[in-house]
Structure 1
Amino acid sequence: MLLVSFASSAHAAAAARAPSSAAAPIELRVAVPSDERAAYFIRLLEQSLQLIGQPYTVRYLKDLPPRRMWAMLGRGDVNLFYGMITEEKERNRRIVPLRVGLTNGLIGQRVLLIRPEDANLFATVRSVSDLKRTGLVAGFGEGWADAKVWRAAGLPVYEHVAPWPTIFAMAAAGNRHVDYLPRGVIEVLEEARTHPEMVVEQRLLFEYPADFGFYLSAAAARYQPILERALKEAEATGLKERLLRESFGDDIKALGLSRRLRVPLPGAPR
């Protein structure tokens, strides 16, 4: 396990907005994926706290499987993690949701990573029923909420138990239980660049209401109002929109969402 640790306090402009009696620092132990997928969420977290002049220290724990991260959050070994907002998590008394979405719903807009030789198969798809008739199997990580959305639509699903990056070679091989990967518009092009054996399907955009949110351990529930205030301030001031644009704007533009055929999927992750 790689542990990345550093501390930060608000920059001068944000500090000027802080109350005259300095706020006590909050201490965060944050679980994040080991690749670059977490970069936006880290920037949003830290810059939101800086925006309200809230001192903090933060340690990032990486190279942990998602299931282990959630288990550690439930035990309080880490006290902050981000993931898909679901009713199941909302009911979990061991974790505390921050009720502010993090991607403005972008994670619920999905395009497909496919094998190049399958492009003609997807060229005939105009609906969920058409996709189902292909018999092709979508790949997700084990326990991912998105897999439930695909299943609810009657689509075949494979849930990958091993570390996520190994699924790309499996899908490319064409004989390993998985045929394509539905990926969020904020992640798919980076993954395509990293895994050139797969290509981005060019016609379709699958949509369902979904977003990521931060979750606290129950032991860190006292931080909930502070973090929610920081995230809401990031929304109100345009900070979140700017970070989304800086992090994902070029890729979203390159995907040409407005020209794609929109295919709605029923329901949000549960």
Structure 2
Amino acid sequence: MLEKRKEIRVKKFARSVFFLVLALNSMSASCVEFVRYPIPETSGDQRYEYPRKLLELALSKTQTKYQIVYPSIPMNQERQVRELEAGRTIDVGPIPTSAEREARLLPIRIPLNKGLLGWRLGLIRKGDEGLLANVKTLEDLRRVRLAQGHEWPDTQILEGSGINVIPGATYESLFKMLTAKRFDYFPRSVMEIWSELDENKATMQIEPHLALHYFYDSYFFVNKQNVKLANDIREGLEKAIADGSFNKLFEEYWGGAIRKARLNERTVIELVNPLMSPETPSRRAELWYGHVPQQ
């Protein structure tokens, strides 16, 4: 009889442990932290896909379980900065950096694109390659009509080198301005230009001989108070760098674009970036494509 009671107690205990484990697993599954990530300004804009994949990769390597969700409002760069600063609608954004933005937000100082954002080719109108055929120096470039978004750090970087930049109100409007001959040369990063050309093949081409280069890239930014998320993203990115998965994703997305750009065959005009923060990890060669630019 005593043995039977003992057996019953053991079975009850085992059932209790079983249901406790089920409950804990259920609680664990429901303890997901949502991370709000922006959507681009236009439906055809593919610039946010790679950083989203990189964010997914980084978050997959942390102990916290995260799920990325998306607000319904499209955002340009400055809108993302304002939303993050105020703690509204998004939690993280892949934003081109500047010392001013790094002061307003909390940056994770690992360049998302290994500095490719500072390698620029130019969109021009079809048949206009002769307009830039003799551009070989910064002084030559200063005589070219070019444009950038009025809120983009690129505008200040180019103006810092004495280049007169025609500002565009929105990303989409700049393509219309080029077609309408409001300017002649639209510098775009090696990552962006190929998909943008596909969208504008009827009227545009890539200028064949020139490249611009300045020390510049995007970071993931979060609100200054969101230290845990920043630390988790940083930890995940560092793990991805160490195990090679960062480079694998980079090559998957941008290897072909780099090879098509033929940077070693172009005349490269080097520009100084006056917006660069002193905290930029410029000495970590593994974070930059090609080499570490010196400024």
TM-score by length of 2: 0.77
**Aligned partner of residue 205 in structure 1, secondary structure:** strand
* Aligned residue in 2 for 1:75: 86
Pick from 181, 188, 202 the counterpart of residue 183 of structure 1.
188
Pairing 1:87–2:99 present: yes
The one-letter amino acid paired with 1:97 is: P
Pairing 1:115–2:125 present: yes
Distance in 1, matches of 2:77 and 2:226, equals: 20
Larger radius of gyration: 2
Question: Which stretch has the larger CA shift, 207-216 or 53-62?
Answer: 53-62
Question: Which stretch has the larger CA shift, 107-116 or 62-71?
Answer: 62-71
Pairing 1:167–2:174 present: yes
Distance in 2, matches of 1:32 and 1:235, equals: 26
In structure 1, stretches of 5+ residues that fail to align are 1-21
CA displacement, residues 172-203 of structure 1 (integer Å, 9 cap, x when unaligned): 221x3x32211000111111111121211111
* Aligned residue in 2 for 1:150: 158
Distance in 2, matches of 1:113 and 1:252, equals: 16
Please say if residues 77 and 95 of structure 2, whose CA atoms lie closer than 8 Å, have aligned partners that are also in contact: no
Please say if residues 79 and 219 of structure 1, whose CA atoms lie closer than 8 Å, have aligned partners that are also in contact: no
Relative to structure 1, is the Cα distance of residues 88 and 223 closer, same or farther in structure 2, using a 3 angstrom cutoff?
A: same
TM-score by length of 1: 0.84
The one-letter amino acid paired with 1:151 is: E
Aligned residues: 242
Please say if residues 46 and 195 of structure 2, whose CA atoms lie closer than 8 Å, have aligned partners that are also in contact: no
* Aligned residue in 1 for 2:145: 137
- Whichever structure has more strand as a proportion of its residues is 1
Deviation at 1:213, TM superposition (A): 0.2
The one-letter amino acid paired with 2:240 is: A
Matches within 5 A, 1:9-88: 25-33=32-40, 34=42, 35-61=45-71, 62-77=73-88, 78-88=90-100
* Aligned residue in 1 for 2:291: none
**Aligned partner of residue 109 in structure 2, secondary structure:** coil
Please say if residues 208 and 268 of structure 1, whose CA atoms lie closer than 8 Å, have aligned partners that are also in contact: no
Pick from 257, 261, 266 the counterpart of residue 260 of structure 1.
266
* Aligned residue in 2 for 1:233: 239
* Aligned residue in 2 for 1:11: none
Pick from 68, 93, 97 the counterpart of residue 107 of structure 2.
97
Deviation at 1:268, TM superposition (A): 4.7
Q: CA RMSD in A?
A: 1.8
Deviation at 1:46, TM superposition (A): 0.4
Deviation at 1:87, TM superposition (A): 0.6
The one-letter amino acid paired with 1:267 is: N
* Aligned residue in 2 for 1:6: none
Distance in 2, matches of 1:59 and 1:158, equals: 36
Distance in 1, matches of 2:159 and 2:171, equals: 20
Pick from 197, 213, 217 the counterpart of residue 192 of structure 1.
197
In structure 2, stretches of 5+ residues that fail to align are 1-27, 277-295
The one-letter amino acid paired with 2:79 is: R
Deviation at 1:71, TM superposition (A): 1.4
